[in-house]
Amino acid sequence: MKSMTDIPRPATSPRSAAALSADPRNVQLTEDGKLRHFLTIGGLPKEVLEEILDTADSFVNMGEKSVKKVPLLRGKTVVNLFFENSTRTRSTFELAAQRLSADVLSLDINTSATTKGETLMDTLQNLEAMGSDMFIVRHADSGAQHFIASQVTPNVAIINAGDGRHAHPTQAMLDMYTIRKHKGDFSKLKVAIVGDILHSRVARSQVQALNTLGAEEVRLIGPKTLLPDTLAGLGAKLYTRMEDGLKDVDVVIMLRLQKERMDGALLPSEGEFYRLYGLTEEKLNYARPDAIVMHPGPINRGVEIESAVADGPQSLILNQVSYGIAIRMAVMSMSVSGQTQQKVQNQENAASQGNDGETSA
């Protein structure tokens, strides 16, 4: 059985792309530092994030052509595996795959069905045996996609569409794209993220991306029940008042509030949350006059955001959706490219080991 622990633990100093890929904790990169799985923003160097944004740029421009397809993934099979329901995210991934000319298969797997029958491992290995080149996975367990990429099907490109409370990297990248396109240089920007940070995988990925891309300041705003101190270590300043947290920010990102939060004694009511943290026109005035407003969607009008703001001139919520397809096309084509490069590299390694008279690994 392969052991994940017989690779020496790397030093904690800044790491080169090559060192990062040798680290078993970062399975995302090839030996040359190219993306071959897209699991989390954490561990990816700035260059890779910028490559994703630049690649997405080409795909956004593509929308102006009358032909909306390119043959990059022609002949490749992309499987959407959503263990958690989501029509929106799944359909944007389907669309992205189709625009890359891939064959797309979408499987909605009820988690309870899996626990009754097939293990996660068996489900995926069966799909791999059917000739899949990419799995787009959404799962309720944090680290599920890491598990899949490192232990189950490392030769199938894994794209994380959200895992538990850990990461939602494609959402974070489309948010970064939106910010870069409308605001430019990250190093001059103050960004505030508001709402249920505790349960938000989107927020975690956004904070990591903003810091890697060099944002001037990242702020998290919410009540203490939804904003534990342990999150400061992610690289953000914590605020409990909108008045303080939104002061002079350039970007306001509102997060969706789920109704279950009232049951866990995390919030008393939607009403109180809206009074304190809902983004109204009045609260938006704390930010800079040219601040942009974003939301990963779907929005809860009157709970986290006022309609006038959501539909207003500073809102980029609909733009985010359109950029989402381009970002997903970018990570999908980059990771298939990385997987192919890795396979070529593995073959070359095996060949040279064979030539030395040793048996290959």
Partner 1 sequence: MTTHTNLPDVNTLIEQLAQQLKQHIQNQNLNNIALVGIHSGGVWVAERLHSLLEQEEALGTLDISFYRDDYTRVGLNPSVKPSSLPFATEGRHIVLVDDVIMSGRTIRAAMNELFDYGRPDSVTLVTLLSLPGRELPIQPDITGQTLTLAPGERVKLTGPDNLSLELQTAQ
Partner 2 sequence: MKLTICGGRLIDPAQNIDELIDIHLADGRVLALGQAPAGFNPERTIHAEGLVVAPGFIDIGAHLREPGPSYKGNLRSETKSALAGGYTTICCRPDTSPCIDSSAVVQQIMDKVEALSQAKVMPIGAMTKDLKGSHLSNMAGLQHTGCVAVSNMRQPVESSLVLRRCLEYASTFDLQVVFYPEDHWLKADGCANEGELASRLGLGGIPASAEAIGLSRVLHLIETTGVKAHFGMLSTARAVEMIANAQQRGLPVTADVDMAHLIYTEAEIDGYNSQFFVEPPLRSEEDRAALRQGVRDGVLSVISSAHLPHEEAAKMAPFAAAEPGMATLETTLSQGLSLVAEDLLSLNQLVERLTSGPAKALGLPMGSLSVGQAADLCLFDPEAEWVVNDESLHTAGENTPLMQQEVKGQVQFAIVDGQVAFERNSR
Contacts to partner 2 by CB under 8 A: 1, 3-6, 23-26, 42, 119-121, 139, 141-144, 146-147, 150-152, 163-167, 201, 204, 228, 230-234
* Exposed e or buried b per residue across 272-282, where buried means at least 16 C-beta atoms within 10 angstroms of its C-beta: ebbeebbbbee
Q: CB nearer to partner 1: give 98 or 340.
A: 340
- Of these partners, partner 2, partner 1, none, which one is at the site of residue 54 (CB under 5 to 8 Å by kind)? partner 1
| Site for partner 1 contains 325 (CB under 8 A) | no
SS3 170: helix
Q: Which is nearer to partner 2, 200 or 337 (CB)?
A: 200
Q: How far is the CB of 88 from partner 2 (least distance, A)?
A: 21
CB of 356 to partner 1, least distance (A): 25
Is residue 34 involved in binding partner 1 (CB under 8 A)? Answer: yes
Which of 224, 226, 328, 317 is CA-nearest to residue 279? 317
Pairing mode of beta strands 217-221, 251-254: unpaired
Cβ 158 to partner 2, closest distance in Å? 13
Closer to partner 2 by Cβ: residue 142 or 314: 142
Residue 254 contacts residue 304 (beta carbons within 8 Å): yes
Instruction: Return the C-alpha torsion angle 51, 182, 255, 320, nearest 10.
Output: -70
Q: Which does 66 bind (CB under 5 to 8 A by kind): partner 1, partner 2, none?
A: partner 1
* Beta-strand relationship, 77-82 and 134-139: parallel
Region from 15-23, 115-123, 257-265, 335-343 binding partner 1, contact rule CB under 8 A = 335-343
Binding mask of the shown chain, residues 184 to 203, with x at each position contacting partner 1 by CB under 8 A:
--------------------
**Residue 221 interacting partner from partner 2, partner 1, none (CB closer than 5 to 8 Å by kind):** none
Among 17, 19, 72, 321, binds partner 1 (CB under 8 A): 72
Binding of partner 1 at residue 46 (CB under 8 A)?
no
Residue 66, CA atoms < 13 Å, CB-side half-sphere = 0
Q: Count residues binding partner 1 (CB under 8 A).
A: 23
**How far apart, in Å, are the Cα atoms of 306 and each of 104, 191, 256, 295, 319?**
38, 19, 13, 12, 18
Is the backbone of residue 7 left (phi > 0), alpha (psi -120 to 50) or beta? beta
Choose the contact partner of 1 out of partner 2, partner 1, none; CB within 5 to 8 A by kind.
partner 2
SS3 per residue for 223-266: CHHHCCHHHHHHCCEEECCHHHHCCCCCEEEECCCCHHHHCCCC
Q: Are 76 and 103 in contact (CB under 8 A)?
A: yes
User: CA-CA distance, 20 to 361, in Å (whole number)?
Assistant: 21
**Residue selected from 16, 58, 87, 285 as contacting partner 1 according to rule CB under 8 A:** 58
Residue 98 binds partner 1, judged by CB under 8 A = no
Please report, as ranges, the residues that interact with partner 1 according to CB under 8 A: 34, 51, 54-55, 57-58, 61-62, 64-67, 69-72, 333-334, 336-337, 340-341, 344
